[in-house]
Amino acid sequence: MERDKRADLAVSDYAQLGALREFLGWAVPGVRVLLIPGRPGRGEQSVLALLASTGGMLSAVRLLPQFLTSRRPALSMTITVGGTSVELTATNLDDVIPVLERALGELPCSGRTSPAPGGGGGARLGRGPPDPAAAGRPHRPR
């Protein structure tokens, strides 16, 4: 069984953190998305910790451009993988995503085991928000 890897995500607009958590939790069911509260008095921002197999983590990273481009242009996010932080913006996605994919493929495991064989990576099809712009709004089944 493959062990989980970890990546931390911070967004430039804290109001978007909940929508990003909901979007990733829906779109990539094999990824655990945990809110890690920051300490504002110490200048620490809350982040999302992603825990998943390599395949699940790569699936989540490949969906980040879709989320970013569906938001206001000034939104950016910082992803930290294995002690290395990279800022993602709508203008640098083509350059940064391949670097993150390589880093995730080479990252040692965190020691946690995946809840299911293979980690369950990949986007889920079916019910749910049709796009990341819908994340954060209640879903109304048809």
Query: What was the pLDDT predicted at 99?
Result: 81
Domains of the chain: 5-107 (3.30.70)
pLDDT of 22-64, one tens digit each? 999 999 988 999 999 987 777 788 999 999 988 888 888 888 8
Cβ atoms of residues 88 and 77 within 8 Å: yes
Sequence-distant (≥ 6) Cβ neighbours of residue 84 within 8 angstroms? 103
Other Cβ atoms closer than 10 A to 40:
10
In 5-142, which ranges are continuous DSSP H helix?
17-27, 54-69, 93-106
Q: Positive or negative CA dihedral for 38, 43, 48, 53?
A: negative
Q: What is the pTM of this model?
A: 0.68
123 compared with 129, residue with greater pLDDT: 129
